Amino acid sequence: MNNPIISINNLHISYNENVILKNINLNINKGDFIYFIGETGSGKSSLLKSLYKGVDISEGTISVGEFNLNTIKKNKIAYLRRELGIIFQDFQLLSDRNIYKNLDFVLRSTGWKDKHKIKNRIIEVLETVHLTNVEKKMPYELSGGEQQRVSIARALLNHPKIILADEPTGNLDPEKSNSIIETMKEINLNGTTVVIATHDYSIIKTFPSTTYQFENKEIKEVAIS
Q: What angle do CA 148, 177, 218 make, to 5 degrees?
A: 95
Backbone φ and ψ for 93, nearest 5 degrees, come out as: -80, 150
Is the backbone of residue 181 left (phi > 0), alpha (psi -120 to 50) or beta?
alpha
Look at 2 and 32; give whichever has higher pLDDT: 32
Cα distance between residue 175 and residue 76, in whole Å: 39
> Does the pLDDT of residue 16 top 60, yes or no?
yes
Q: Is the pLDDT of residue 17 over 70?
A: yes
Q: DSSP alpha helices (H): ranges in the chain?
A: 44-51, 77-82, 99-109, 115-128, 144-156, 174-189, 201-206
76-121 pLDDT, tens digit each: 998 898 899 999 888 789 999 999 999 999 999 888 999 999 999 9
Closest among 196, 217, 203 to 89, alpha carbons compared: 196
For 123, counting Cβ atoms within 10 Å of its Cβ (0-12 exposed, 13-18 middle, 19+ buried), the class is middle
Report whether pLDDT(2) > 80.
Answer: no
Identify whether the C-beta of residue 54 lies closer than 8 Å to the C-beta of residue 216.
no
C-beta separation of 170 from 200 below 8 A: yes
* pLDDT score, position 197: 95
More confident residue, 224 or 145: 145
Mean pLDDT, rounded, of the chain? 93
Q: According to the model, what pLDDT value does residue 1 have?
A: 53
What is the pLDDT confidence band of residue 217, given thresholds at 50, 70 and 90?
Answer: very high
Q: How far apart are CA 99 and CA 152, in angstroms?
A: 12
- Nearest Cα residue to 92 out of 180, 194, 165, 40: 165
Q: What share of the chain is helix, strand, coil (3-state, %, to 5)?
A: 35, 25, 40
Is-contact 79 107, C-beta < 8 A? no
Q: What is the dihedral of CA 73, 74, 78, 83, to 10 degrees?
A: 40
Give the containing element (helix H, strand E) for 15.
Answer: strand 6-15
